[in-house]
Amino acid sequence: MKRVFNHYSGRLTALTVAGALTLAGVTLAFTQKPKSEEKTPPNVALDERPIPRDAASHNSFAPVVKRVAPAVVKVSTVAKAHNMSFNGGGPDIDEFFRHFFGDQMPGRVPAPRPNYNAPRQHGVGSGVIVSKDGYILTNNHVVDGAEDVKVSMQDGREFNAKVIGRDPKSDVAVIKIEAKDLPSVPMADSEKVEVGDVVLAVGNPFGIGQTVTSGIVSATGRGNAVGLDYEDFIQTDAAINPGNSGGALVDAEGRLVGINTAIYSRSGGNEGIGFAIPTNLARDVMDDLIKNGKVTRGYLGVIIQDVNPALAKEFNLKNATGALVGDVTPRGPADKAGIKSGDVITEYNGKKVTDSRHLKLEVGMTKPGETVPVKVLRDGSTRTLEVTVKTLPGDEQVAKNDSGEKQDTGTLNGVGVADLDNAARQQYDVPANLKGVIITGVEPNSPSAEAGLKPGDVILEINRKPVHSSDEAVKMTENTDNKVTLLRIWSKGGSHYVVVDESKAG
């Protein structure tokens, strides 16, 4: 029987997907910075013209590489060590992955306490300078858990970098170095990329030094490839290997079309299927991280599924496209707009909906508070409804980002929470009569993680005061004098008290 594995490539960071299994991102949480501290997005050069497809074939890409290569950097990280154990696969498989990828990959879980005597983990990835003042796009999994981040440029210069923000749901991260007049790569409109376009992958595979490979765009709009919440990958056969993560995928004009992120592989090396985050998605995430310290996504309040031929026949649809609404959250945006179970959403904000993944992406990129037209097919007739999008539950969070800012005076840093709605109750089997907020993520190595908090736990009380909403939880943990927090937690059918001591953190 064939076994299929999926994993991050340890601290030699290229996300590797073996076989057809998916890899889920780690949930982290960020709070919005005070308005006085908000930063404007960087001045990114844009070149959104369609690529000329009637030109003669290139005999050499050397001129393109000379323009792009100086802006693609090596990202070196140092992270805390952990005792890790592998869930399944046996000692031989475990030793193989440890030899090739190191000790950090999905399937490994931290021991209850870190081994402080173990050496710290070193990792190598790539990044792309996108503004002359030092903003760099890379992958979340490149800098995830890093205590120190260093950027090395092609001209030999090295800089200490600050992590501005991370978004595990899309695997995008933004780091920054303090420098001026840096080389940068202009961004193309990734929606204009077509299958068959020539692309170059630039990065630092295996840490051996900058390398350029060429190929074509094999597919666009790839989803369900890695297991992230938001996937819209450009697929390419340009060679991508461990260490390429965060590097540049550029078109034949030298414009950035994607951030190299993952490979499909049974061996751990390149097998001709690589995935890159399209620049349009990466740019939206980057702007939010820089301006607000987190990514705020839109929310409709529907449970949706793809339309297959059998469902299309039952719902009298002409073709198997669109997103079928299986359930509607009471009093949510969709419910208030009149969307019902059994509706097929065929258009969202003027764009055709091909499947449920595509709808999720479009909704996620909608700014909360915006009203958009949604076209639905119901009982054979089409109608257009106006939906006012809200903030995705789980974006109201207690945790802070890891940008290196030290001004925080709150508590429960590294913990994400959301309102306890019907979907959360079903997912985590929470009784209907229980009041509180659901924990959506706990940052590794944080005091909250050390205290035993984990996703799916329900916070009932903070410092002996009942909690009813995520907004209330945020307010109760802001600007506190005491860095020791007493929590009453419901978990696995029972409640207990937990003390989170952040007095020595940071």
CA quadruple 155, 161, 166, 172: dihedral, nearest 10: 0
Neighbours of 109 (CB within 10 A): 12
Active-site hit among 141, 144, 237, 446: 141
Q: State the chain's maximal CA–CA distance in angstroms.
A: 72
Structure tokens at 436: 């509180």
Neighbours of 406 (CB within 10 A): 6
171 is catalytic: yes
Residue type, 351: K
Tokens 């498989």, residue?
A: 93
Alpha-carbon separation of residue 356 from 331, 345, 375 (angstroms): 21, 9, 14
245 is catalytic: yes
Neighbours of 479 (CB within 10 A): 9
Active-site hit among 131, 245, 356, 448: 245
Identify whether the C-beta of residue 80 lies closer than 8 Å to the C-beta of residue 445.
Answer: yes
Alpha-carbon distance of 462 to 88, in angstroms, equals: 38
Neighbours of 340 (CB within 10 A): 13
Backbone φ, ψ for residue 283 (5° rounding)? -70, -40
Query: Which residues, including other chains, have CB under 8 Å from residue 355's CB and lie 6 or more apart?
Result: 306, 307, 321, 322, 323
Alpha-carbon distance of 49 to 65, in angstroms, equals: 19
Q: Residue 355 class from Cβ within 10 Å (0-12 exposed, 13-18 middle, 19+ buried)?
A: buried
141 is catalytic: yes
Alpha-carbon distance of 466 to 486, in angstroms, equals: 12
Identify whether the C-beta of residue 457 lies closer than 8 Å to the C-beta of residue 474.
Answer: no
Alpha-carbon distance of 261 to 213, in angstroms, equals: 15
Identify whether the C-beta of residue 82 lies closer than 8 Å to the C-beta of residue 284.
Answer: no
Supply the residues annotated as catalytic. Answer: 141, 171, 245
